[in-house]
């Protein structure tokens, strides 16, 4: 029997244990968040960090877990900070230094990101860190290493144009990771055999494989690639894992990985070969929202189907001029019964989930890109730009209620999404972690 099979993950309502929070949709029930912010006002503490990361801070009880890529030293770090003070409780050099075919460095594959982009996931017995080079490392809450493995060593080198960035998902005592990649190397080498995309399930107690199932697709080249995280969906006795990429959306049995249904596509005939997927799916009521790339529409699909879904499974797709409500990078939010879609150009839209009606759109103040996913908490939608401009938008009426420039001018963009936990916001800047509270 699995060591974690009967483990009830008793997350406190105030925790932020996974990348998209306790409900897997970017929302939190915390209240009392600051109504005024500046570099000196509303900052409870600021803790220096040894290197950048795009990973969202993970908050469990009195601990905050973050990653860092230290380029000068060529190391990847797992860190645990004290939630009350920001002091470092423990840190460990988690990266193995694995480099596929000698590409990139020990901390990055390309110049747009680094290996410290996936967010950790925490539970009442420990925390699991994933890095973009495939290193997967588990610790107990006090920092004692439990197990480690490298997914590229075990399953073959990744076939992604950019750095792999999906975060692991912990659901009912099992750890899930979709690896949806090209069927050939990205550097032009001939493949000895086609490279498979698959959904992987591991036991978080020891890292051993529970299942690995193929996830086929008719997409071409980069359109086979997905950087999205698997999202659980529960409706009564029905439980699924939602996986997007390769031009389709699929639902899977969490116990076996078997595909229950698939819907697609936004890429008719799979003609476009350069449509990789970055945003993860988000569930809102009886619909799941997925975003096609590069200013293409967002699509709301009805949940509860089986087999290959037809056109009647599509509830709506966004429209509008000059561009529809869409997102190429940020994962949408579901909060207070509405979808919130943020474009990387800085337009935040509130969308009714059943009809797709756009109830309002708010232009955010900074012209730098907005690639961090929005967070819903305390009646506001919180967003942060590459330059570290943080805004809190009224979730009901639209309009910016809170605004502060908090970037640390390190030359690295701010990509980490905000965590809302224990009456505070946790903001990961390139060289600091900020705890923001009233």
Q: Residue 6's pLDDT is what?
A: 31
> Which contacts qualify for 98-102: CB closer than 8 Å, 24 or more apart?
98/133, 98/134, 98/135, 98/150, 98/152, 98/153, 99/133, 100/133, 100/152, 100/157, 100/158, 101/157, 101/187
Q: Residue 8's pLDDT is what?
A: 38
DSSP state, residue 151: H
Spatial contact of 180 and 243, defined as CB atoms under 8 Å apart: yes
Spatial contact of 25 and 333, defined as CB atoms under 8 Å apart: yes
Q: Residue 379's pLDDT is what?
A: 98
Higher per-residue pLDDT: 1 or 50: 50
Higher per-residue pLDDT: 92 or 108: 92
DSSP per-residue codes, 368-426: S---SPPEEETTEEEEE-TT-EEEEEETTT-SEEEEEE----SSS---PPPEEETTEEE
Domains of the chain: 43-436 (2.130.10.10)
Q: Residue range 122-141: average pLDDT?
A: 97
Q: Predicted confidence band at 9 (pLDDT cuts at 50, 70, 90)?
A: very low
pLDDT higher than 70, residue 268: yes
Q: Residue 300's pLDDT is what?
A: 98
Q: Predicted confidence band at 322 (pLDDT cuts at 50, 70, 90)?
A: low
Spatial contact of 417 and 18, defined as CB atoms under 8 Å apart: no
Q: Residue 323's pLDDT is what?
A: 73
Q: Residue 193's pLDDT is what?
A: 80
**pLDDT per residue over 338-359, tens digit each?**
999 999 999 999 999 999 999 9
DSSP state, residue 207: -
Which of 262, 267, 368, 265 lies closest to 307 in space, CA to CA? 262
Q: Predicted confidence band at 3 (pLDDT cuts at 50, 70, 90)?
A: very low
Among residues of the chain, what percentage have pLDDT more than 90?
86
Q: Predicted confidence band at 92 (pLDDT cuts at 50, 70, 90)?
A: very high
Q: Residue 317's pLDDT is what?
A: 96
Interacting residues of 265 by C-beta distance below 8 A, sequence separation 6+? 247, 248
Q: Residue 412's pLDDT is what?
A: 87
pLDDT higher than 80, residue 267: yes
Higher per-residue pLDDT: 40 or 290: 290
Q: Residue 189's pLDDT is what?
A: 77
Q: Residue range 309-332: average pLDDT?
A: 91
Q: Residue 408's pLDDT is what?
A: 79
Which of 316, 301, 297 lies closest to 357 in space, CA to CA? 316
Lowest mean pLDDT among 47-61, 258-272, 314-328: 314-328
Mean model confidence pLDDT for the chain: 93
Q: Residue 11's pLDDT is what?
A: 55
Residue that is written with structure tokens 């080079």 in the block: 133
Q: Predicted confidence band at 122 (pLDDT cuts at 50, 70, 90)?
A: very high
**pLDDT per residue over 169-190, tens digit each?**
999 999 999 999 999 988 777 7
Among residues of the chain, what percentage have pLDDT more than 70?
95
Higher per-residue pLDDT: 425 or 104: 425
The pTM (predicted TM-score) of the whole model is 0.95
Spatial contact of 115 and 132, defined as CB atoms under 8 Å apart: yes
- 34's tokens: 């600051």
Q: Residue range 384-408: average pLDDT?
A: 96
Q: Residue 145's pLDDT is what?
A: 98
Q: Predicted confidence band at 12 (pLDDT cuts at 50, 70, 90)?
A: low
Dihedral angle at the C-alpha atoms of 433, 115, 418, 121, nearest 10 degrees? -100
C-alpha–C-alpha distance, residues 47 and 413, integer Å: 18
Q: Residue 433's pLDDT is what?
A: 98
**pLDDT per residue over 181-236, tens digit each?**
999 988 777 777 889 999 999 999 999 999 999 999 999 999 999 999 999 999 99
């Amino acid at each position: 029997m699995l060591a974690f099979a009967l483990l009830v993950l008793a997350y406190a309502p105030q925790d932020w244990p996974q990348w998209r929070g306790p409900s897997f949709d970017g929302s939190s029930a915390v209240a009392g968040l600051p109504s005024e912010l500046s570099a000196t006002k509303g900052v409870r503490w600021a803790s220096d960090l040894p290197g950048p990361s795009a990973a969202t801070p993970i908050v469990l009880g009195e601990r905050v877990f973050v990653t860092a890529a230290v380029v000068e030293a060529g190391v990847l770090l797992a860190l645990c900070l004290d939630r009350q003070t920001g002091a470092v409780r423990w840190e460990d050099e988690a990266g193995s230094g694995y480099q596929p075919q000698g590409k990139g460095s020990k901390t990055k594959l390309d110049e747009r990101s680094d290996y410290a982009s996936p967010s950790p996931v925490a539970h009442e017995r420990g925390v699991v860190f994933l890095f973009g080079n495939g290193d997967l490392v588990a610790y107990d809450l006090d920092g004692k290493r439990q197990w480690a493995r490298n997914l590229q060593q075990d399953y073959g080198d990744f076939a992604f144009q950019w750095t792999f960035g999906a975060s692991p998902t912990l659901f009912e005592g099992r750890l899930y990771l979709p690896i949806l990649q090209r069927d050939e190397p990205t550097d032009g080498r001939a493949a000895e055999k086609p490279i498979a995309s698959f959904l992987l399930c591991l036991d978080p107690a020891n890292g051993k494989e529970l299942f690995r199932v193929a996830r086929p697709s008719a997409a071409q080249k980069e359109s086979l690639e997905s950087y999205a995280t698997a999202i659980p969906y529960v409706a009564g006795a029905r439980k699924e894992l939602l996986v997007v990429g390769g031009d389709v959306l699929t639902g899977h049995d969490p116990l076996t990985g078997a595909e229950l249904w698939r819907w697609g596509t936004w890429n008719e005939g799979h003609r476009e070969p350069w449509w990789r997927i970055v945003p993860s799916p988000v569930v809102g009521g009886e619909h799941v929202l997925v975003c096609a790339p590069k200013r293409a529409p967002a699509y709301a699909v009805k949940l509860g189907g089986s087999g290959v879904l037809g056109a009647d499974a599509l509830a709506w797709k966004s429209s509008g001029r000059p561009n529809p409500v869409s997102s190429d990078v940020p994962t949408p939010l579901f909060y207070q019964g509405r979808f919130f879609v943020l474009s990387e150009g800085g337009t935040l839209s509130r969308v009714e989930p059943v009809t797709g009606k756009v109830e309002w759109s708010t232009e955010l103040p900074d012209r730098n890109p907005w690639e961090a996913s929005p967070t819903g908490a305390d009646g506001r939608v919180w967003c942060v730009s590459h330059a570290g401009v943080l805004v809190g938008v009224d979730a009901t009426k639209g309009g910016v209620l809170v605004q502060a420039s908090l970037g640390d001018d390190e030359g690295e963009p701010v990509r980490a999404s905000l965590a809302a936990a224990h009456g505070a916001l946790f903001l990961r800047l390139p060289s600091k972690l900020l705890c923001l509270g009233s």
